[in-house]
Structure 1
Amino acid sequence: MFDEQTYPNTTTLTPDQKVEHYQSALTPTPTDRDFLLALPEPRPFSVFLQETRYYLERYPLALIGEVGLDKQFRIPEAWLPGQSIERDDGLTQGGREGRNLSPYRVSMDHQKKVLLAQLHLAGELGRATSVHGVQAHGVVFNTLQETWKGHERKVPSKRERRKQEAANPTTTEDKDQVASEERKPTPYPPRICLHSYSGPPETIKQYLDPRIPAKIFFSFSSVINFSHAGVAKTEDAVKAVPDDRILIESDLHTAGERMDGYLEEVVRKLCEIKGWELEHGVKQLAANWKNFVFDNE
């Protein structure tokens, strides 16, 4: 995708513009013109956002994501003659599918530009968002922080809270009604899930700052979080997440028995770490999911 501010009044780049675009979007800067010309034709970023908006409006319960930042991903080499014909059209384009990887990564500046636009769209339409960070936990936090900068909540002192409660003795239902009526488009998503969270436990404290106006959730999967040597760090992270902000996922691309098995596996693991009885854990995780998706407290 290319930014129309760089290439205005066009939907298709010339070969020279295509080379220039990829040289600015990839790192280290590629010098192989044939490699760059073999990459997919860039399309206007506004077109992608229009398509995303269309789907979100068509499906009112749809989320945005997963989206995010990735310092590890490398661009696959171009398809060899015959490979593109033989590939499975049912698979999402852009996958490796047996190809060698080039030495080039997508620059953080380009990734952040894309992510920020997606986050702003989520805030405008009031949609929950699933965000990942691969070797980029600090950059992800800083990018999310950009979206709510200037919109932080004021945290009243205990004395101020007592005075407010005495002056305005409202019920929970009254508060929910007021919150619903006052909800307006924002530059930040109202609810954010940090997908298969693999960051350090210390970073969780940053996301739990009461001044942050978005609800932050943390999801865990057995595939990503409990299948490597850093399990102890993951367990510490799970313990640091408040009970009402933890989610589960399979991190699998297909539904079915295998996915169900992964979900059961991670439910049992989280119950073990949290010290929950299984039934309590299942009910808590279900309530958390409804809160994330539907904003149900």
Structure 2
Amino acid sequence: MSQDDNPGKETHDGPFPWDLGVYDVHCHPTDTMASIAEIPQMKTRTLTVMSTRGEDQDLVFDIATKFPKEEKCKNGGNEGRILPCFGWHPWFSYQILDDSNTPSPSTTETGEDLKKAHYQKVLTPSPKNDDIGNHFIASLPPPKPLSNLITQTRTRLTTHPTALVGEIGLDRAFRLPNPWTTQDLETRDTTVTPGSREGRKLSPHRVHLEHQRVVLRAQLRLAGEMGRAVSVHSVQAHGAVFDAFKELWKGYERRVPSRKERRRRESVAGAHEQSDEEDATRKASNSEEERKPTFPFPPRICMHSYSGPVEAVKQFLHPANPSDVYFSFSNVINFSAPGAQKAIDVVKALPDDRVLVESDLHTAGPVMDGLLEDVVRRVCEIRGWGLEEGVKRLGENWGRFAYG
């Protein structure tokens, strides 16, 4: 049957409405710094740019300064080209030393002793005390104290008052790359920002999940202190991520009205009472805003390229949760086989106002624009939205997630 045979059917293959504002909620253009020069020509209105490790924190900081918020976008929007995000990815959490409850080092301990003890503690299997294990540890950087990471991130967030916290999270699957070989160095891609795997073979070593949790919790608490949203990575760890949120939410849950209260509010007789309650809530909210309260959890959370089951979504969206949780999707991770159907089911199950889109790409420019257009079209098709309706909804969702 042709489209003309069914005029009521929504089509998603028409001209793409870039002029309405399209927002990438998660990307990594600083992994390929040469591509940054292409950002002014991009059709995407704002790139929410993640940092992940020591090598890219200043790069994200610098491009956010280069493309300030007050700069007009090519397509007429008032938003800045870059919304920076500062955080430490779980892939690199092994480089962080938990000094929260660590006694002062012995005067007889050397820096190499501390480094070795740290990596033998946080990696599994623990590197052996032999030539192979010692060579592996020697190839790793000196660990960075967690307290220093939090202090530096706080400073960056203060300097960029709209910046978010990300990319942070948990990952059960990640394995550290092996040390560089002579052949690796000879074929190394010098256009890529250092610090990632860069084509090296993988070692058997993973980061203990509990150590990842320590680094995650510290950054979630900082986001709560600063009132910033977070972008969360979760691979084979959705339950553990939710448990980390729940631990910080404890004692701050929102009150959920009973069925009886909801029925009363829906009745005509209860309309004035609801209005009075809302007015009191607004006054309390304004008073709290003046006092600038802080909480041990972020106000808004994006589960980036969410790959978990649809059943788990109910936990994240429970009305008692004091953080608003969003879910973002990318074509590369979510809509490629074999996990595409699971992502489709999740997109269908979500409320309209909790869906976001991303490229998750490591290079800026037309390829990033193309990936974002593709995922917007895909999400609109799944949700049954027209393109203009979908682009507007997704833009509004991004604004609420980013700025509240």
TM-score (norm 1): 0.91
Question: 23-32 or 93-102: which moved more?
Answer: 93-102
Instruction: State how 1:70-149 maps to structure 2 within 5 Å.
Output: 70-81=171-182, 87=188, 91-149=192-250
Distance in 2 between residues matched to 1:43 and 1:120, nearest whole Å = 19
Q: 1:56 to 1:220 in 2, by over 3 A?
A: same
Q: 1:165 to 1:247 in 2, by over 3 A?
A: same
Q: Secondary structure at the match of 2:326?
A: strand
Q: 1:204 to 1:81 in 2, by over 3 A?
A: same
Distance in 1 between residues matched to 2:243 and 2:115, nearest whole Å = 30
The structure 2 residue matched to 1:6, chosen from 102, 125, 136, is: 102
For structure 2, the residue ranges without an aligned partner over 5 or more in a row are 1-95
Task: State the Cα deviation string for residues 103-132 of structure 1 (Å, max 9, x = none).
Answer: 000110110000000000000000010001
Q: 1:184 to 1:171 in 2, by over 3 A?
A: closer
Aligned match of 1:23: 120
Question: 147-156 or 109-118: which moved more?
Answer: 147-156
Q: 1:53 to 1:82 in 2, by over 3 A?
A: farther
Q: 1:157 to 1:259 in 2, by over 3 A?
A: same
Q: 1:119 to 1:86 in 2, by over 3 A?
A: same
Q: Secondary structure at the match of 1:170?
A: helix
Distance in 2 between residues matched to 1:166 and 1:63, nearest whole Å = 34
Q: 1:182 to 1:223 in 2, by over 3 A?
A: farther
Q: 1:35 to 1:273 in 2, by over 3 A?
A: same
Aligned match of 1:42: 143
The structure 2 residue matched to 1:250, chosen from 350, 356, 359, is: 359
Question: Aligned pair 1:55/2:156, yes or no?
Answer: yes
Per-residue deviation, 1:160 = 3.8
- Asked whether the equivalents of residues 98 and 214 of structure 2 are also in contact (C-alpha less than 8 Å), the reply is no
Distance in 1 between residues matched to 2:228 and 2:358, nearest whole Å = 19
Q: Over aligned residue pairs, what C-alpha RMSD do you find? A: 2.5
Q: Which has the higher contact order (CA 8 A, sep 6+)?
A: 2
Instruction: State how 1:182-193 maps to structure 2 within 5 Å.
Output: 184-193=293-302
Instruction: State how 1:230-241 maps to structure 2 within 5 Å.
Output: 230-241=339-350
Per-residue deviation, 1:94 = 3.0
Q: 1:21 to 1:59 in 2, by over 3 A?
A: same
The one-letter amino acid paired with 1:202 is E
Question: Aligned pair 1:68/2:169, yes or no?
Answer: yes
Question: 242-251 or 150-159: which moved more?
Answer: 150-159
Distance in 2 between residues matched to 1:108 and 1:205, nearest whole Å = 24
- Asked whether the equivalents of residues 13 and 42 of structure 1 are also in contact (C-alpha less than 8 Å), the reply is no
Distance in 1 between residues matched to 2:110 and 2:161, nearest whole Å = 34
Question: 154-163 or 55-64: which moved more?
Answer: 154-163
Distance in 2 between residues matched to 1:170 and 1:50, nearest whole Å = 39
Aligned match of 1:291: 400
Q: How many residue pairs were aligned?
A: 294
Q: Secondary structure at the match of 2:116?
A: helix
Per-residue deviation, 1:155 = 1.1
Distance in 1 between residues matched to 2:358 and 2:162, nearest whole Å = 18
Question: 26-35 or 123-132: which moved more?
Answer: 26-35
Per-residue deviation, 1:149 = 1.2
Q: 1:81 to 1:158 in 2, by over 3 A?
A: same
- Asked whether the equivalents of residues 189 and 198 of structure 2 are also in contact (C-alpha less than 8 Å), the reply is no
The one-letter amino acid paired with 2:209 is M
Q: Secondary structure at the match of 1:255?
A: coil
Question: 27-36 or 260-269: which moved more?
Answer: 27-36
Distance in 2 between residues matched to 1:258 and 1:166, nearest whole Å = 49
Q: 1:151 to 1:188 in 2, by over 3 A?
A: same
The structure 1 residue matched to 2:382, chosen from 264, 270, 273, is: 273
Question: 151-160 or 240-249: which moved more?
Answer: 151-160
Q: Which of the two has higher C-alpha Rg?
A: 2
Per-residue deviation, 1:80 = 2.7
Q: 1:228 to 1:203 in 2, by over 3 A?
A: same
Q: 1:169 to 1:135 in 2, by over 3 A?
A: closer
Per-residue deviation, 1:177 = 4.3
Distance in 1 between residues matched to 2:104 and 2:345, nearest whole Å = 49
Question: 66-75 or 157-166: which moved more?
Answer: 157-166
TM-score (norm 2): 0.68
Question: 47-56 or 175-184: which moved more?
Answer: 175-184
The one-letter amino acid paired with 1:3 is D
The one-letter amino acid paired with 2:119 is Y
